[in-house]
Structure 1
């Protein structure tokens, strides 16, 4: 299963989409924009899982795409 995550950058000033917890694949100014793109990527690469973090690096939501 492919794993995606939406996480804040070091200063929580931008939002990153990571695939398989490696180098970021996309960067966004707003978390909502990052989440939207991450959902698109995850749904295109089923089966996959998307974990969304808040600005304190705590898990907000996890979604599975089958």
Structure 2
């Protein structure tokens, strides 16, 4: 199962979508845009899981596809 994450940068000014929490695939200016992109990637690559972190780097939500 592939694992995707939506995480903020150090200052929470931009958001990253990462695969297997390694290298960022994309960078977004808003969390909502990063979540949309992460959901799309996870749906296209089922079975997969999307883990969303908040601006404090704490796990906020897990979605399974």
Hey, which bits of structure 1, 4+ residues long, moved more than 2 A?
none
| TM-score of the superposed pair, with normalisation by structure 2 | 0.98
Alignment partner, residue 41 of structure 1:
41
How many Å apart are 1:39 and its aligned residue?
0.1
Structure 1: tracts of 5 or more residues without a match: none
Aligned to 1:23: 23
Give TM-score scaled by structure 1 length. Answer: 0.96
Alignment coverage as a number of residue pairs: 65
